[in-house]
Structure 1
Amino acid sequence: MARVQLDLPEKLAWATSLNIRIYDTNFAGHLAHDRVVSLLHESRARLFKEKGFSELDVNGHGIILTDLVVEYKAEAFFGDQIRVEIGAGDFSAKGCDLYYRMIHTDGPINGKIVCNAKTGLVFMDYSTRTVSNIPEVFKSWF
């Protein structure tokens, strides 16, 4: 079976730290796949907030995700500390790809990659429900 393979930039522009909570784990006791997506979303929302915006309002335009790819590399468990790095690339007039790297930051597995991921996004004017151009301020973050 063919496997998804992501090529992430070596350096990603922004990062945040998170802890794996008990409800982030599944029946096997490790980080659940659906919670990975939630943690990526949490990280992306933190990026927007730190920049003074939200996912629904970057100079009047919000984002809408077009796709998601996650490449799992290692387990994470309750109490683990992780860092999520975010960068961007493949810009077009209307959207781009956001790249994510989730990395262990504690214990004997410090530095081990939990997953790599990518979300495609486009900007949208939610008042007219139409796709819009990427705000220049968003591009400046990367």
Structure 2
Amino acid sequence: MARVKITMPEHFTFRTNIPVRITDVNYGGHVGNDAILSIIHEARLHFLTAAGVKELDPGHTSLIMADAALVFKGEGFHGDVFTISVTATEFSAFGFELYYRITSDRDGRSFLIAEAKTGMLCFDYTVRKLARLPEGWEERLSQAK
């Protein structure tokens, strides 16, 4: 069976902490795969805010997710506080890639929970078409802390 592989960057510019909610836990007693995507969405908003970029900015350039890849590495549980490291790379005329590494410290050890990548495209909701990456975004996203 072919597996998804993500080549992760060596350095991440931004970190945020997100607690695992009981609603993130599935019938297996651990964080569900759907919850991981929601958690990286929240981390993305924290990252964009730190960069001074809005995901949805009516009348201006907004962002849409073109693709997502998730690789599960370990289990997360209710009560964990995930540390999500985020970085932006691979800028193009219309978008960029965001990479995420999710870890959790538990019982004096650090556990790798998941790695992910989302392809982000600039979008103009007024005309409902792709838009060019605004001037200054690459620098702001590359330096978000």
TM-score with structure 2 setting the length: 0.90
Is the contact between residue 87 and residue 99 of structure 1 (CA under 8 Å) also seen in structure 2?
Answer: yes
Unmatched tracts of structure 1, length 5 or more: none
Counterpart-to-counterpart distance in 1, 2:106 and 2:133: 37
Counterpart-to-counterpart distance in 2, 1:93 and 1:52: 19
How much identity, in percent, do the aligned residues show?
33
Distance 1:96 1:58, change over 3 A: farther
Please provide the CA RMSD for this pair.
1.7
Runs of 4 or more, structure 1, over 3 Å off, are: none
- After superposition, residues 2-81 of structure 1 pair within 5 angstroms as 2-57=2-57, 60-81=60-81
Counterpart-to-counterpart distance in 2, 1:69 and 1:80: 23
Corresponding residue number in structure 2 for 1:101: 101
Residue 59 of structure 1 and its aligned partner are, at CA, apart by 9.0
Is the contact between residue 24 and residue 31 of structure 1 (CA under 8 Å) also seen in structure 2?
Answer: yes
Residue 114 of structure 1 and its aligned partner are, at CA, apart by 0.5
TM-score with structure 1 setting the length: 0.92
Is the contact between residue 58 and residue 125 of structure 2 (CA under 8 Å) also seen in structure 1?
Answer: no
Residue 6 of structure 1 and its aligned partner are, at CA, apart by 0.6
Is the contact between residue 18 and residue 83 of structure 1 (CA under 8 Å) also seen in structure 2?
Answer: yes
How many residues get paired?
Answer: 141
Is the contact between residue 69 and residue 117 of structure 2 (CA under 8 Å) also seen in structure 1?
Answer: yes
Unmatched tracts of structure 2, length 5 or more: none
Counterpart-to-counterpart distance in 1, 2:18 and 2:102: 10
